[in-house]
């Protein structure tokens, strides 16, 4: 979707379709990170996990896809009613008009994309901070009764790194360069953050799958 929206031709209908599709899937991604943050926040601190609803994943999926679909429908309807009116180009999404994505020089990308994602990312950071503080307190309480080793402390730090990645706190790095568009350093920083998120699946695989316990379990089978 990113390739189509960046290099697609405005004369091609696929350009506009790719723009709305990219918005839908990007919104789904951020909303899923918010759901995961909420679930991790509750799940890591919960004592009893037996009272969870049976169809929780279906409910979360409906929430994410429904809200992302609603947001996509809103920007689509706004464009259908006001697209092409230059007097409203600063606040209309204008997907497929200036380029296959939002006009980067207008307020629309801040209103419909950057702003909502920034709010959700801040919420993820707050949930991560609260979770990390609670886990550190638990670790300290346990350390009073059990002599902790260096490996135990290292595992605690790795656990926080894994939680940080899964809660999507790094997505704020994609948003900062928007406010420093004239700064060359932040533009390079944006690309580094963007390629990191493109490879996020690899990062998650390394952190969650390539663990000693997981590898040992696989080799034993």
Highest mean pLDDT among 15-19, 39-43, 66-70, 187-191 belongs to 66-70
Give the other-Cβ count within 10 Å of 23's Cβ: 23
Tens-digit pLDDT profile for residues 157-212: 778 888 888 888 888 777 776 777 677 777 777 778 778 877 877 887 877 777 77
pLDDT at 29 over 80: yes
Please report the pLDDT score of residue 73 as a whole number: 94
Tens-digit pLDDT profile for residues 86-125: 566 678 888 877 777 887 777 888 888 888 888 988 898 8
Please report the pLDDT score of residue 221 as a whole number: 65
Please report the pLDDT score of residue 159 as a whole number: 80
The residues that bridge with 95 in the sheet, in sequence order, are 99
Please report the pLDDT score of residue 107 as a whole number: 81
pLDDT at 138 over 80: no
Please report the pLDDT score of residue 88 as a whole number: 67
Which single residue is written with the structure tokens 């091609």? 12
pLDDT at 2 over 60: no
Which single residue is written with the structure tokens 């629309």? 108
Mean pLDDT along residues 7-35: 79
Reported as a pLDDT band with limits 50, 70 and 90, residue 85 is: low
For the chain, how are helix, strand and coil distributed in percent, rounded to 5?
75, 0, 25
In 3D, which of 115, 99, 109 has the Cα closest to residue 75? 109
Burial class (CB in 10 A: 0-12, 13-18, 19+), 34: buried
Which single residue is written with the structure tokens 């998120």? 197
DSSP codes, 192-215: HHHHHHHTHHHHHHHHHTS-HHHH
pLDDT at 7 over 60: no
Distance CA 34, CA 168 (A): 8
Distance CA 51, CA 46 (A): 11
For the chain, which residues make up each domain, given as ranges?
A: 2-220
Mean pLDDT along residues 16-38: 88
Distance CA 95, CA 112 (A): 12
Give the other-Cβ count within 10 Å of 200's Cβ: 15
- The pTM (predicted TM-score) of the whole model is 0.75
DSSP codes, 32-68: HHHHHHHHHHHHHH-S--TT--TTHHHHHHHHHHHHH
Alpha-carbon 74 to chain mean position: 21
Phi-psi region of 12 (alpha: psi -120 to 50; beta: other; left: phi over 0): beta
Please report the pLDDT score of residue 57 as a whole number: 83
């Amino acid at each position: 979707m990113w390739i189509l929206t960046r290099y697609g031709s405005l004369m091609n209908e696929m350009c506009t379709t790719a723009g709305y599709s990219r918005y839908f899937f990007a919104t789904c991604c951020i909303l899923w990170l918010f759901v995961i943050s909420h679930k991790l926040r509750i799940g890591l601190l919960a004592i009893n996990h037996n009272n969870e609803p049976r169809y929780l994943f279906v409910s979360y999926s409906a929430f994410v896809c429904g809200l992302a679909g609603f947001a996509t429908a809103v920007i689509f309807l706004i464009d259908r009613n006001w697209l092409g009116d230059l007097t409203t180009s600063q606040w209309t999404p204008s997907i497929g008009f200036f380029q296959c994505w939002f006009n980067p020089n207008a307020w629309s990308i801040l209103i419909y994309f950057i702003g909502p994602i920034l709010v959700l990312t801040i919420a993820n950071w707050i949930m991560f901070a609260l979770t990390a503080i609670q886990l550190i307190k638990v670790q300290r309480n346990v350390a009073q009764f059990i002599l902790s080793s260096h490996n135990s402390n290292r595992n605690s730090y790795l656990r926080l790194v894994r939680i940080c990645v899964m809660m999507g706190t790094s997505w704020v790095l994609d948003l900062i360069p928007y406010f420093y568009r004239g700064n060359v350093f932040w533009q390079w920083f944006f690309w580094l953050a963007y390629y990191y998120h493109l490879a996020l699946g690899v990062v998650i695989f390394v952190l969650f799958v390539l663990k000693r316990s997981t590898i040992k379990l696989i080799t034993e089978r």
